[in-house]
Structure 1
């Protein structure tokens, strides 16, 4: 039963295609459960400072919810879930929590896209990597991911090692970081997403890497899958590889959500 819990929409300003086009591709590919998880409005900045090319505007949220609900009626053959991708921003947890509580979500993806205000996964800002010691950067990034997991805001942590997106990797043993992260994931009850978008960028592999996924499995952290599709043809892309990766480390089930409650399905 393929599951793709990470579909974006044109509302975020950097995706294309209609939501219905995404669903048509899902049907054609035999995917049975999908979730739209578009980017939350940039809640941590004043409205006049928010970049419409990074996330939907606050006034678009109600229409987003309505459209997902309507599509659930139009496509009864698909199990369509309402999700949201929410950036973890220290110091702004109350605002994020209130926004999340105001919506009838099936699940919330937590993500880290910023280190000290720098959008490290933005291709326009890739030159900033040269200003960092990569060991320090990786420590800072994974500490933010660990804090996100511990915040209680999220059901799933998305693209857990996104920091490797452009192929910048430190010369260090990451196992202690992975172990600490996996322990926090287990203690806080979050699920990890195996995200196939890493296959489409210089990283050249899923998020998370197999070493981190192995650690998460050892700590009993549940897993789910997503393509991080930003255009219709990316729906379900790489999911077969993701499932094989998940199985290879020992998982026999993936996690699905409804009304922010989880259950498990065999793979």
Structure 2
């Protein structure tokens, strides 16, 4: 069974193509299951669409749900389409997000930290001139947010848990014990993490998370899933076979996906 749990489309403002194009690409790539998981609106903001090039508008959200469900039915004989969302995690607004999500029949929700310390994790300038002590503080703050996202029990999957390395590859070398602490929290909360192949499109190259983190995740009993994080239909299922092979080499025997908020195990 071949699946991809993390795909976007044009509503978020920084992806190409509509939902049907991603589904058609999944069929062409031989996938059995395709998850649609565009960026959630900024539900904590008063404006309908405060960041047009980052996430969809609040007014678009019901239309997104409706379209995915229609396409799910339309393609039911060709591929299983799952309704997902990639949700930002903002602790101050978590209850607002939770209340919204409870209204809809999601198959799964990905929780991702994109903002730490008030700045995008992908902002190259955030690292300029920092001392070692400040770098450690930045890493601790980021992983504290990931731990809190796991503890919130809002999410089935945690997205790209070391994506802060995207434009600062040496991030992985800063104070490593916080990663172990975070993996233990994730395991205790029984949340999966994704192997996200979009890291190859950033300065860091490779996947999120690193092989070292995946080895530690296995040690602590963390479940893993697959997500291309495709923002273009051409990347749907990107490196799925390579990831599966590497996970087996590390020692994983299965990976998972979610249907109706219930975890489904698939042998590697």
Same fold (TM over 0.5): yes
Shift of 1:49: 7.0
CA distance in 2, matches of 1:64, 1:171: 36
Describe the shift of the 1:177–1:62 C-alpha distance in structure 2 as closer, same or farther (beyond 3 A). same
**Residues 29 and 135 of structure 1: is their aligned pair in 2 closer, same or farther, counting only changes over 3 Å?**
same
Corresponding residue for residue 57 of structure 1 = 57
Q: Which runs of 5+ in 1 are unaligned?
A: none
Deviation, 1:60, is: 0.8
**Cα RMSD (Å) of the superposition?**
1.6
Please list every run of 5 or more consecutive structure 2 residues that lacks an aligned counterpart in the other structure.
Answer: none
> How many angstroms apart in 1 are the aligned matches of 2:68 and 2:48?
28
Structure 1 position 172, deviation (Å): 4.5
Aligned with 1:91: secondary structure? helix
Indicate conservation of the 8 Å contact 1:135/1:172, yes or no.
no
Q: Given the superposition, is the C-alpha separation of residues 174 and 77 from structure 1 closer, same or farther in structure 2, using an over 3 Å criterion?
A: farther
SS of residue paired to 2:125: helix
Matches within 5 A, 1:176-187: 176-187=177-188
Match of 2:29 in 1: 29
Q: What is aligned with 2:267? A: 266
CA distance in 2, matches of 1:62, 1:131: 44
- C-alpha offsets along residues 149-200 of structure 1, whole Å, 9 cap, x if unaligned? 1111111001010100013424846441121111101111100111000112
Change (3 A) 1:37 1:48: closer
Checking the alignment, whether the CA contact within 8 Å between 1:109 and 1:158 is kept in structure 2 is yes
Mapping 1:1-267, distance limit 5 Å: 1-47=1-47, 50-75=50-75, 76-121=77-122, 125-132=123-130, 133-170=134-171, 172=173, 174-267=175-268
- How far apart, in 1, do the equivalents of 2:177 and 2:126 lie? 26
